[in-house]
Amino acid sequence: MAGDFAWGISLPALGCEGAAPASDWARWEREGRASPSLDGNGWLTNFRDDIEMYAALGCQALRIGIEWARVEPRPGVVNGEAVDRYREMLRTAAGAGLAVWLTLHDQSLPGWFGDDEQGFRDERARRYFWPRHVDRCAELFNDRAAAWVLMEDPVGYVQRGYFQGVCPPGRKGLESMREGLLGVVDAIVQADRLLRGTDVVLALGLADAHMRRGRAIDGSATAWALLAARRSGRIEIADLPTLSVPDFVDVGTSIGVRHLAREDSAEELADCVYRVAEEAPDTLLAITASGCRTDDDDRRDAYLHDLGQRLTTLRDERLPVRAYFHHTGVDSYDGLHGFGIANGLFKRDRTPKNSAARFEQMIKH
């Protein structure tokens, strides 16, 4: 592949660090609504060795989640130790020659924001506390950030937390989903404005590239509707009235595709990339999270083999795909499945799987 294409590893904060004590997810665990995340895959204490391991694999980039609940465990109180640790992560990555894409929100929030202040559904909270966090992260980390991912799979976050009620804040129903979707879109717009002039990625969880208008309860249909709203300024999904979001037009400088695979779905991922290119012409693309959730590493190896060939085709056809991030490097925690489904190239004890060799081969060839 061309030299401007970056191969990387996705490192979601909750999955790799475990729940921050001050997060809404930690409360969720204490209430018995989710299995304990412990220390995730140990990334917080093992990041130096892990970065060396990923660099040796041939990676050129890492996508690191900044856990807001660690940086600001109480409103207005910044945890200097957590900031220093994230700064050290970024310095270590730079020293290993790895570009860093920073993710501002992925699944969990500070409990004081998500619970006490009503999170993204409250206008004051998302227009005061959230922009303050974004601005702080830009001040602290922008010198090391190659790109900013505003939110990881915002539609999935709303689907799980505002419609199904299986994740914080645990709300249910179509009206709640409408409220959550509008709140998250507004939060994305606020962050995009603050980070204007930097490299900003709108990452969406996308599947079934042939899906058109669908029901609001279908997360994939809603994600495609959100992508269309980036051009039209309207979110149109069947179970909800049209939502006007004019400020969402042209948000972000790149579109990110999150696609965590079922068996034999590399073709589906490629189809999604083609459709994104059609929906967002003249916009850079990135695969911000992709992988095969399975305990059968032979399946993961086959998925990567197929995916490598399809990525080569995408680049040969001059689609503007700039990066691929495998989700994830080391087996990690998943909010819905705990540690029950393997997703890494390495086991938690850092033993490489056959798929790690496959990924290295993809990078080097």
- The per-residue pLDDT for range 116-134, each reduced to its tens digit, is 999 999 999 999 999 999 9
Q: Where are the alpha helices (DSSP H) in 233-341?
A: 266-279, 297-316
Tokens of 299: 């399946």
pLDDT, mean of residues 162-174: 95
The answer to whether 67 and 114 are in contact (CB under 8 A) is no
pLDDT at 264 over 80: no
The answer to whether 210 and 191 are in contact (CB under 8 A) is no
Closest by Cα among 214, 196, 68 to 155: 214
pLDDT at 279 over 90: yes
Structure confidence at residue 213 (pLDDT): 63
**Strand 254-261 relative to strand 284-292: parallel, antiparallel, unpaired?**
parallel
pLDDT, mean of residues 212-227: 80
Give the total residue count for the chain.
Answer: 365
pLDDT at 190 over 90: yes
Q: 133-159: string of b/e by CB count within 10 Å (b at 16+)?
A: bbebbbebbeebbbbbbbbbbbbbbbb
Tokens of 185: 């879109």
CA separation for the pair 108, 111 (Å, rounded): 9
pLDDT at 246 over 60: yes
Which residues are 9's β-sheet partners?
Answer: 62, 326
CA separation for the pair 110, 71 (Å, rounded): 9
Structure confidence at residue 261 (pLDDT): 64
Distances from the Cα of 318 to the Cαs of 5, 219, 252, 311, in angstroms? Answer: 12, 29, 21, 11
pLDDT at 218 over 80: no
CA separation for the pair 93, 99 (Å, rounded): 7
CA separation for the pair 312, 150 (Å, rounded): 27
CA separation for the pair 185, 249 (Å, rounded): 11
pLDDT at 216 over 90: no
pLDDT at 2 over 60: no
pLDDT, mean of residues 278-294: 93
Higher-pLDDT residue of 333 and 239 is: 333
pLDDT at 207 over 50: yes
- Domain map (residue ranges) of the chain: 6-364
The percentage of the chain sitting over the pLDDT mark of 90, rounded to a whole number, equals 87
pLDDT at 201 over 90: yes
Give the SS3 label for residue 142.
Answer: helix
Confidence class of residue 42 from pLDDT cuts 50, 70 and 90? Answer: very high
Beta strands in 12-107 (DSSP E): 61-65, 99-103
Model confidence, pTM: 0.96
pLDDT, mean of residues 187-206: 96
- What count of Cα atoms within 13 Å lies in the side-chain half-sphere of residue 222? 26
Q: Regarding the domain delimited by 6-364, which CATH topology (the fold level of the hierarchy) does it fall under?
A: TIM Barrel (3.20.20)
pLDDT, mean of residues 326-333: 96
CA separation for the pair 242, 213 (Å, rounded): 12
Structure confidence at residue 262 (pLDDT): 61
Structure confidence at residue 28 (pLDDT): 97
Render pLDDT for 334-356 as a digit per residue (tens, 0 to 9): 988 999 989 999 999 999 999 99
Give the SS3 label for residue 176.
Answer: helix
- What count of Cα atoms within 13 Å lies in the side-chain half-sphere of residue 22? 17
User: Tokens 């003249």 identify what position?
Assistant: 282
The percentage of the chain sitting over the pLDDT mark of 70, rounded to a whole number, equals 97
State the average pLDDT for the chain.
Answer: 94
Tokens of 325: 């991030």
Confidence class of residue 1 from pLDDT cuts 50, 70 and 90? Answer: very low
Contacts of 327 (CB under 8 A, 6+ apart): 10, 12, 258, 260, 289, 290, 291, 343
pLDDT, mean of residues 65-89: 98
Peptide bond into 169 cis (omega under 30): yes
Structure confidence at residue 208 (pLDDT): 85
